[in-house]
C-alpha cells in the first residue's frame, strides 16, 4: 500500500498542517467506514456535514482535513490540516496521489454501459496489478476517492465517470489525465439536465479534453455525433465498418492515428471481432445485443493497452453479467425473471425490450419510472409502451408517477398499480407458466424489491 507525507499533502492542497508529519495511506469521507490511520475529509453534503463527526473520527483517524480549527486536540498524537474548502482539498489530494502513479489511466463514460465496460475491462486486466472504480463512485466525489485508493505500483487504473448536467465530466478528466478515454455511447440518460442529445454528446466527449498527448480516444462509430470530436489519436468501434466509413474518418483525422475495431454478431451471444486484419470469434455471457458493443469497447481499450487477443478472448468468455443488468433468474414453471432494475433511460429500456423480444414465451414487462427526463417525460414513457407493443409483449405492468403513460398507451393488458401490495398481489396470481418478466426502472424506483418478491414467492411454493 502506497504511503504519503501529510506535510506534502497539506502543501499540495494549499492547507496548513497542525501536529506531526507522518506517512498515511488511507482516505475516507464516511465516519461509518473509517479505518484506523485513515485521513478523514470533512465533506459538507446536502444531508450531512463531516465536521459534525470530528470527535468520533479523531479516535480512529491519523489526520482530519477540516475547514475549521479543531479544539480540543492532542497534537502530539493526532494531526489536522486546515483548508478553505474540504471538497477542493479532496480533489487536490487525489491529484497529488495521481501524480505519484505511473500506471496507464483509462477513463470511461457514456450514457449506457459504462459500468459493464469498466467491470469487463477490469476482468480482462485481472492478471495485472490494477485499481478501478468500485460501485458507482463516478461523480465529483467518487472519482477523487477512486484516485486516492490507487497504488503507486499499479499497472492500470480504470476510472468510471458519470454526469447528469453539463460541465461535470471535463473536471473529472482533468483529475484523471487519462492515457485512454472511452465513450460507450450517446443516449437519452439524464436528458433533463442535458436538454438535447447534442449537449449530451458534448458533455460525454469532453472526457477527451485531458487525454495525454500520446493518448487515445475510444469512440462508438454508431453514434452520429462522433464526427464532432477534435483531431487526436482515435480508435473507432462498431458494427461492420466499411471502407467508405474508414476512408472518411481517416481523412478527417489526418496526421493522427485512426484505428478501427469492427464486430459482427453471429449465433446467440457470439460475435466476430476484426482488428488490424485479424479476426476472432468470441462468446459472451451477457444478455442483449447491445452488450456486443460494450464488449467491443472493452476490447478496443484492452488492445490499445497491448493486451494479447487470446488473453482478451479468454477473459471476456469468463466474464459474468453485472448485478441487476439483464441478469436472468430461472424459476419454476418455466418462469424467468430478467432483472434489469439497476437503472433505466429510453435507450437502455428499448435495448432491454429488444432482448426480451427474441425470447420464446409470454413476454411481460414490469416498469418503474425513468427519472430525469424533464418536460418530455410523458412522451418518453409512452414511447416505451408503444415499443413494447410492437415487439410482442403480452402484458405491461407499471408502478410510479410516469410509467402509467407507458401502460396506458400499451392498451389492453396494460395495468398500472398505485401501491406495492396490489402489484405484488397481481404478480402472485397472474403470471402464467413459460413467461419472461423484464423488471426495469430507474435506480430510485428500487424495483429489486419485486425481483426478490418473485424469488421468495417461489421458495414458499
To the nearest 5 percent, what fractions of the chain are helix, strand and coil? 40, 20, 40
**5-44 per-position pLDDT tens digit:** 999 999 999 999 999 999 999 999 999 999 999 999 999 9
461 pLDDT higher than 80: no
Spatial CA neighbour of 430 closest among 417, 442, 444 = 417
Q: Sketch the domain layout of the chain as residue ranges.
A: 4-84, 101-316, 327-460
Average pLDDT over residues 408-423: 97
Average pLDDT over residues 318-335: 90
**51-85 per-position pLDDT tens digit:** 999 999 999 999 999 999 999 999 999 999 999 99
Residues 6+ apart with CB under 8 A from 146: 131, 132, 133, 134, 137, 159, 160
459 pLDDT higher than 70: no
Residues 6+ apart with CB under 8 A from 71: none
316 pLDDT higher than 70: yes
**255-266 per-position pLDDT tens digit:** 999 999 999 999
Name the CATH code of domain 327-460 (choices 3.90.190.20, 3.40.1190.20, 3.50.50.60, 3.40.30.10). Answer: 3.90.190.20
Q: Do domains 4-84 and 327-460 have the same CATH topology?
A: no
Q: What is the pLDDT at residue 4?
A: 96
337 pLDDT higher than 80: yes
**266-309 per-position pLDDT tens digit:** 987 899 999 999 999 999 999 999 999 999 999 999 999 999 99
**178-193 per-position pLDDT tens digit:** 999 999 999 999 999 9
Residues 6+ apart with CB under 8 A from 248: none
Cα 245 off chain centre by: 29
Compute the distance between CA of residue 125 and CA of residue 324 in angstroms, rounded to an integer: 23
| Domain 101-316 bears CATH identifier 3.40.1190.10 | yes
460 pLDDT higher than 60: no
Query: In sequence order, which ranges of 26-183 are alpha helices (DSSP H)?
Result: 54-58, 86-99, 114-124, 142-148, 169-176
Task: Tell me the whole-structure pTM to 2 decimals.
Answer: 0.92
Name the CATH code of domain 4-84 (choices 3.50.30.30, 3.40.1390.10, 3.30.565.10, 3.40.50.300). Answer: 3.40.1390.10
Q: Are 182 and 118 in contact (CB under 8 A)?
A: no
Compute the distance between CA of residue 297 and CA of residue 217 in angstroms, rounded to an integer: 11
Cis amide prior to 101 (ω within 30 degrees): no
Q: What percent of the chain has pLDDT over 70?
A: 99
Amino acid at each position: 500500500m502506497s504511503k504519503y507525507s501529510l506535510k506534502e499533502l497539506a502543501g499540495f492542497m494549499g492547507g496548513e498542517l497542525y501536529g506531526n508529519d507522518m506517512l498515511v495511506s488511507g482516505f475516507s469521507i464516511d465516519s461509518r467506514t473509517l479505518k484506523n490511520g485513515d485521513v478523514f475529509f470533512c465533506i459538507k453534503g446536502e444531508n450531512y456535514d463531516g465536521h459534525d463527526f470530528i470527535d468520533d473520527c479523531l479516535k480512529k483517524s491519523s489526520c482530519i482535513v477540516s475547514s475549521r480549527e479543531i479544539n480540543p486536540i492532542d497534537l502530539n498524537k493526532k494531526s489536522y490540516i486546515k483548508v478553505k474548502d474540504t471538497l477542493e482539498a479532496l480533489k487536490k489530494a487525489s491529484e497529488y496521489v495521481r501524480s505519484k502513479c505511473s500506471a496507464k489511466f483509462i477513463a470511461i463514460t457514456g450514457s449506457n454501459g459504462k459500468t459493464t465496460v469498466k467491470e469487463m475491462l477490469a476482468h480482462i486486466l485481472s492478471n495485472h496489478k490494477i485499481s478501478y472504480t468500485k460501485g458507482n463512485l463516478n461523480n465529483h466525489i467518487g472519482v477523487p476517492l477512486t484516485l486516492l485508493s490507487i497504488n503507486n505500483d499499479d499497472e492500470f487504473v480504470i476510472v468510471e465517470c458519470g454526469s447528469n448536467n453539463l460541465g461535470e465530466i471535463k473536471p473529472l478528466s482533468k483529475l484523471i489525465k487519462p492515457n485512454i478515454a472511452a465513450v460507450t455511447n450517446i443516449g437519452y440518460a439524464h436528458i433533463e439536465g442535458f436538454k438535447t442529445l447534442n449537449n449530451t454528446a458534448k458533455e460525454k466527449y469532453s472526457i477527451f479534453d485531458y487525454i495525454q498527448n500520446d493518448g487515445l480516444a475510444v469512440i462508438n462509430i454508431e453514434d452520429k455525433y462522433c464526427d464532432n470530436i477534435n483531431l487526436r489519436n482515435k480508435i473507432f468501434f462498431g458494427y461492420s465498418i466499411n471502407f467508405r466509413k474508414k476512408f472518411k474518418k481517416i481523412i478527417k483525422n489526418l496526421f493522427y492515428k485512426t484505428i478501427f475495431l469492427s464486430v459482427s454478431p453471429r449465433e446467440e451471444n457470439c460475435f466476430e471481432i476484426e482488428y488490424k486484419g485479424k479476426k476472432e470469434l468470441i462468446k459472451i455471457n451477457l444478455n442483449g445485443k447491445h452488450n456486443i458493443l460494450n464488449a467491443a469497447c472493452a476490447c478496443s481499450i484492452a488492445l490499445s493497452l497491448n493486451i494479447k487477443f487470446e488473453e482478451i478472448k479468454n477473459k471476456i468468455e469468463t466474464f459474468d453479467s453485472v448485478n441487476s443488468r439483464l441478469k436472468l433468474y430461472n424459476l419454476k414453471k418455466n418462469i424467468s425473471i430478467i432483472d434489469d432494475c439497476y437503472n433505466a433511460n429510453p435507450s437502455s429500456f428499448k435495448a432491454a425490450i429488444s432482448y426480451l423480444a427474441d425470447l420464446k414465451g409470454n413476454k411481460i414487462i414490469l416498469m418503474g419510472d425513468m427519472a430525469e427526463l424533464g418536460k418530455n417525460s410523458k412522451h418518453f414513457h409512452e414511447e416505451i409502451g408503444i415499443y413494447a407493443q410492437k415487439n410482442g409483449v403480452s402484458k405491461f405492468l407499471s408502478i410510479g408517477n410516469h410509467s402509467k403513460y407507458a401502460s396506458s398507451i400499451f392498451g389492453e393488458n396494460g395495468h398500472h398499480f398505485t401501491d406495492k401490495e396490489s402489484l405484488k398481489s397481481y404478480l402472485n396470481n397472474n403470471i402464467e407458466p413459460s413467461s419472461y418478466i423484464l423488471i426495469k426502472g430507474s435506480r430510485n424506483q428500487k424495483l429489486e424489491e419485486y425481483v426478490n418478491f418473485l424469488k421468495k414467492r417461489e421458495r414458499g411454493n
